[in-house]
Amino acid sequence: MHPALHRVDHRPWPVPSTAWTWRQQWKDLLFAHYPVPVSQLRPLVPPELTIQEFGGTSWVGVVPFRMTGVMRRPFPDIPGISAFPELNVRLYVEYEGKPGVWFLSLDASNLLAVLAARALFHLPYYHAKMDIHSNYRFPSGPDGFGFVSRRTGSGPKALFEAHYRPISEVFEAQPGTLEAFLVERYCLYAKSPKGGYFGEKLFRGEINHAPWPLQQAEGSVSPNPLLETHGLSVGDQTPLLHFSSGVDVVVWSIERVG
């Protein structure tokens, strides 16, 4: 059994009965979250999807991290292809009672992964030049992570930079908390493009992993140049920051819904 399937009791619905098709690991993540009113996000999300709220507001997540072990089942890792940095901008939505993630953009340094994800999962991936390192020196205390991304491919240019480190013991988000609302999500939603083979259709992609090992985090994040490519800005808001060392993940092929 894949390590990502050792825990399934925490899921809000059962794992799919079909076989998973992709495996990967998500590592050294920063979850930077900002409250943004639904009215600002509604034009960015298909009307079929409900934008969820917590604490009277919807939320935007900006998530830099490392991908490793990325490969279709049952093939082995391929050096230079199966590991790369990634940067997500995500919203929190629901359809047919299943809460999930709607991605505004996903930047990655691996051009092959960008092309494959666009074709197979209908996700808005962009190619970017990225660097993540674990020896960023903070003024005091232990070193942390530095992450820089500059979009180089097609689409609106976007620059992102963050420096972060964990500052607490590891914990699991408890049901009903804001942390659980933001991170414990087990599907994504995507829409095929107009004029494509499928036409403009809504899809759901199921995933599974153990509950996130979270830590409180501190650092500096510069999200606005990236968010402005979506017509958003969070001004000088202080983000809610969490760090995770990562999880093993399995992914199922997307299925049409609706």
> Hey, is 8 helix, strand or coil?
coil
* pLDDT for the residue numbered 154: 66
Cα end-to-end distance, the chain, whole Å: 32
Q: Which bin fits 251, alpha (ψ -120 to 50), beta or left (φ > 0)?
A: beta
CATH number at residue 252: 2.40.400.10
pLDDT for residue 195 is more than 80: no
Pairwise CA distance, residues 99 & 93, whole Å: 6
pLDDT of residue 198: 63
Q: What is the pLDDT of residues 60-108, one digit of tens each?
A: 999 999 999 999 999 999 998 999 999 999 999 999 999 999 999 999 9
CA dihedral 98, 190, 3, 10 (to 10 degrees): -10
* Residue 192 in tokens: 């095929």
pLDDT surpasses 90 at 153: no
Residue 64, domain extent: 3-256
Report the domain count for the chain.
1
Measured CA to CA in angstroms, residue 145 lies from 82, 166, 244 at distances of 21, 9, 12
Confidence of residue 200 (pLDDT cuts 50, 70, 90): confident
Give tens-digit pLDDT for 8-40: 999 999 999 999 999 999 999 999 999 999 999
Confidence bin at 206 (pLDDT 50/70/90) = very high
